[in-house]
């Protein structure tokens, strides 16, 4: 009988890591079965619970419930899932727990689950990562601006110790810990947080049984392996190297229990190594226009704002003798009324949806669906529409996103430091034929860093587009309001990457059995 592993998913967010682990199926149930996933943020927990329900329902019935398909398509409000399948819903609520790690209630719930997992599965695996805001470079810069902020008192710096407590209690066969690169340089009380983390991980089991051998994921000539890390940066995984259409670099530590570490030697999986682009992931989604956040949000008003900006910019570059930019802006001005998108939201599926032989699209597209969900644009200030248009056209023509100094003076925002370098990347277009930049929770703010590459659409990315860049399948619904949905997507681990990590780990744990 194939080995099965019970999974404890800590700091689960909306479930990106768990989705990848549970998606592995070798002609039967996944060898990784999630026993408990813990997330304290309420909207992310709702997303996590719904996904757990759908996973259980699909295992029991072989398909998605029609009530979900209709809810997903917007044909009905969210149903009471317990009336759709009471047993599946009960299993989901037992799996997805709204708990704050570090509290007594969370410790008790996890400990009870540990007892069940030990009795049910051949062994266990712990996955997840502590909140990253305290470690990220951006997060630390913002924290410095808070009056009275004391790093030593920020509990997020120490939440990894709750992760370690679970490791010490459960003694799983392996663990996967993920975090931002900033954890490598973050300090508390003049000590590197990463140094403290490695000391704690290395001391697990010392004098009391098996310890853990720490491994980094290494990619060489299209093959991923687990290797000893010679320096901290060896733990950095570049998502784009694994076919993710996003340049996302994260620290991922894999620990293998010492009694089985020998069997991990030689474990490897093939990785295609094909570079995927933003257009690969979202190019076939329906074209949409943005809204106008202040003023009359009508198609005619939007066309007037964007068309006026296009004509103005065409004139500027005609005077400067820049034929390529002049022609590009002139084309937008001429074709906007004829070919420009009219809708701010669309759910229609393409005629070939679900039929592609492309590996990434086979992962993203789910044939049972009747529409695309959460593909709705935000409204932008009229003054920003010209900047979005400029960024998109400039990116298409120059093949890079413009800096502040590239913008015409007529589009300069009213910021004293606009030309100082502080706002150099204030507006960033994502390039169609490259992997996107890192999708972060900041996408929930204003969208300026995530401008769509199509000038005719003149907008930021939708939740669904961001989710696709994160490789969440189209049947993955994010619950909560739109801001919460963006935050969930930005904080997650790409499931398609997680699935490859899970495949490598499974090989390491079972190849000598």
- At residue 218, does pLDDT exceed 90? yes
- At residue 143, does pLDDT exceed 50? no
Over range 157-186, report the average pLDDT. Answer: 86
Averaged pLDDT score across all residues of the chain? 90
Over range 326-354, report the average pLDDT. Answer: 95
In a domain, 57, yes or no: no
Closest CA to 456 of 298, 309, 350, 352: 309
Q: For the whole prediction, is pTM greater than 0.85?
A: yes
| Continuous segment of H or E residues that includes residue 178 | strand 174-180
Contact 448, 459 (CB under 8 A): no
* Predicted pLDDT of residue 376: 97
* Predicted pLDDT of residue 155: 52
Q: Which domain holds residue 128?
A: 5-35+99-274+494-510
Over range 504-513, report the average pLDDT. Answer: 86
Same domain, 282 and 308: yes
How far apart CA 148 and CA 52 sit, in angstroms, is 40
How far apart CA 375 and CA 459 sit, in angstroms, is 12
Same domain, 319 and 173: no
- At residue 330, does pLDDT exceed 50? yes
Over range 341-355, report the average pLDDT. Answer: 94
Same domain, 463 and 427: yes
In a domain, 75, yes or no: no
Q: How confident is the model at residue 206 (pLDDT cuts 50, 70, 90)?
A: low
How far apart CA 263 and CA 63 sit, in angstroms, is 36
- At residue 148, does pLDDT exceed 60? no
In a domain, 329, yes or no: yes
Same domain, 365 and 451: yes
**How would you classify the pairing of strands 379-380 and 212-220?**
unpaired
**Greater pLDDT, 141 or 372:** 372
What's the structural domain count of the chain?
2
Helices 160-170 & 104-120, crossing angle to 10 degrees?
Answer: 30
Question: How big, in percent rounded to 5, are the helix, strand and coil portions of the chain?
Answer: 45, 15, 40
Same domain, 434 and 362: yes
Same domain, 295 and 241: no
26-40, 103-117, 153-167, 359-373: least confident range: 153-167
Give every CB contact of residue 362 below 8 A, 6+ residues apart in sequence.
356
Please report, for residues 33, 90, 150, the alpha-carbon distance to residue 111 in angstroms, rounded to integers and kept in the order given: 17, 19, 32
CATH number of the domain encompassing residue 227:
3.40.50.150
DSSP 3-state of 169? helix
Q: How confident is the model at residue 141 (pLDDT cuts 50, 70, 90)?
A: very low
Over range 47-58, report the average pLDDT. Answer: 97
In a domain, 89, yes or no: no
Please report, for residues 108, 177, 504, the alpha-carbon distance to residue 123 in angstroms, rounded to integers and kept in the order given: 20, 18, 17
Contact 225, 503 (CB under 8 A): no
In a domain, 66, yes or no: no
* Predicted pLDDT of residue 420: 66
In a domain, 83, yes or no: no
Q: How confident is the model at residue 424 (pLDDT cuts 50, 70, 90)?
A: confident
Same domain, 327 and 266: no
Closest CA to 472 of 51, 49, 132: 51
Per-residue pLDDT tens over the stretch 189-203:
778 888 888 888 888
Backbone φ, ψ for residue 446 (5° rounding) = -135, -10
* Predicted pLDDT of residue 1: 58
Backbone φ, ψ for residue 296 (5° rounding) = -80, 115
How far apart CA 169 and CA 151 sit, in angstroms, is 28
* Predicted pLDDT of residue 311: 97
Over range 476-492, report the average pLDDT. Answer: 97
Same domain, 206 and 149: yes
In a domain, 250, yes or no: yes
Q: Which two tokens stand for residue 510?
A: 């079972």
Contact 380, 447 (CB under 8 A): yes
Same domain, 309 and 178: no
Q: How confident is the model at residue 484 (pLDDT cuts 50, 70, 90)?
A: very high
Q: Which residue has the tokens 């407590």?
A: 165
Same domain, 298 and 419: yes
Over range 418-442, report the average pLDDT. Answer: 87
Same domain, 262 and 292: no
SS (H, E, C) 184-253: HCCEECCEEHHHHHHHHHHHCCCCCCCCEEEEEEEEECCEEEEECCCCHHHHEEEHHHHCCCECCEEEEE
* Predicted pLDDT of residue 140: 37
Over range 421-447, report the average pLDDT. Answer: 89
455-470 in b/e form (b: 16+ CB < 10 A) is bbbbbbbbbbbbbbbb
- At residue 498, does pLDDT exceed 90? yes
Same domain, 501 and 484: no
Per-residue pLDDT tens over the stretch 435-479:
999 999 989 988 899 999 999 999 999 999 999 999 999 999 999
**Greater pLDDT, 90 or 211:** 90
* Predicted pLDDT of residue 296: 80
In a domain, 186, yes or no: yes
Over range 166-175, report the average pLDDT. Answer: 92
* Predicted pLDDT of residue 158: 61
Over range 147-176, report the average pLDDT. Answer: 72
Give every CB contact of residue 46 below 8 A, 6+ residues apart in sequence.
479, 480
- At residue 85, does pLDDT exceed 80? yes
Q: How confident is the model at residue 153 (pLDDT cuts 50, 70, 90)?
A: very low
Over range 369-386, report the average pLDDT. Answer: 95
Query: 174, exposed or middle or buried, with CB in 10 Å at 0-12, 13-18, 19+?
Result: buried
DSSP 3-state of 170? helix
């Amino acid at each position: 009988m194939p080995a099965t592993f019970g999974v404890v998913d800590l700091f689960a967010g909306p479930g990106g890591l768990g989705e990848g682990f549970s998606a592995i199926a070798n002609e039967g149930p996944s060898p990784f079965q999630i026993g408990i996933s813990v997330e304290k943020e309420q909207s992310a927990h709702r997303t996590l619970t719904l996904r757990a329900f759908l996973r259980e329902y699909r295992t029991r019935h072989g398909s998605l419930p029609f009530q979900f398909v209709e809810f997903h398509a917007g044909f009905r409000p969210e149903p009471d899932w317990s009336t759709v399948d009471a047993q599946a819903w009960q299993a989901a609520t037992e799996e997805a727990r709204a708990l704050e790690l570090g509290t007594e209630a969370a410790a008790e719930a996890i400990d009870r689950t540990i007892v069940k997992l030990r009795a049910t599965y051949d062994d266990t695996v712990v996955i997840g990562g502590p909140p990253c805001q305290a470690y990220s470079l951006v997060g630390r810069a913002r924290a410095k601006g808070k009056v009275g902020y004391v790093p030593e008192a920020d509990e997020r710096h120490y939440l990894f110790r709750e992760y370690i407590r679970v490791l010490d209690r459960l003694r799983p066969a392996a663990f996967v810990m993920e975090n931002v690169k900033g954890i490598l340089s973050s300090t508390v009380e003049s000590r590197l947080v990463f140094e403290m983390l490695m000391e704690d991980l290395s001391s697990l089991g010392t004098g009391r049984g098996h310890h853990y051998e720490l491994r980094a994921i290494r990619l060489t000539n299209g093959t991923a392996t687990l290797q000893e890390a010679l320096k901290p940066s060896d733990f950095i995984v570049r998502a784009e190297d694994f076919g993710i259409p996003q340049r996302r670099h994260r620290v991922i530590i894999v620990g293998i229990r010492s009694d089985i570490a020998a069997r991990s030697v030689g474990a490897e999986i093939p990785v295609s190594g094909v570079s995927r682009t933003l257009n690969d992931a979202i190019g076939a989604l329906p074209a949409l226009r943005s809204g106008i956040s202040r003023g009359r949000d009508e198609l005619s008003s939007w066309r007037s704002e964007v068309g006026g900006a296009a004509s103005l910019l065409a004139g500027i570059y005609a005077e400067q003798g820049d034929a390529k930019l002049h022609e590009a802006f002139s084309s937008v001005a001429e074709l906007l009324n004829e070919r420009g998108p009219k809708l701010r939201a669309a759910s229609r599926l393409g005629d070939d949806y679900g039929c592609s032989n492309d590996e990434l699209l086979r992962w993203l597209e789910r044939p049972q669906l009747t529409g695309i969900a959460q593909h709705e644009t935000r409204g932008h200030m009229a003054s920003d529409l010209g900047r979005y248009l400029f960024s998109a056209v400039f990116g298409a023509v120059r093949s890079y996103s413009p800096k502040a100094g590239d913008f015409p003076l007529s589009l300069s925002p009213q910021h004293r430091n606009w030309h100082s370098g502080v706002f150099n990347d204030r507006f960033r277009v994502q390039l169609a034929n490259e992997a996107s930049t890192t999708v972060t929770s900041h996408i929930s703010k204003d969208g300026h860093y995530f401008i769509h590459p199509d000038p005719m659409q003149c907008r930021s990315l939708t939740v669904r587009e961001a989710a696709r860049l994160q490789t969440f399948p189209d049947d993955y619904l994010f619950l909560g309001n739109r801001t919460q949905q963006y935050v969930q997507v930005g904080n997650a681990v790409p499931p398609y990457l997680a699935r490859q990590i899970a495949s490598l780990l499974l090989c390491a744990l079972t190849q000598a059995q």
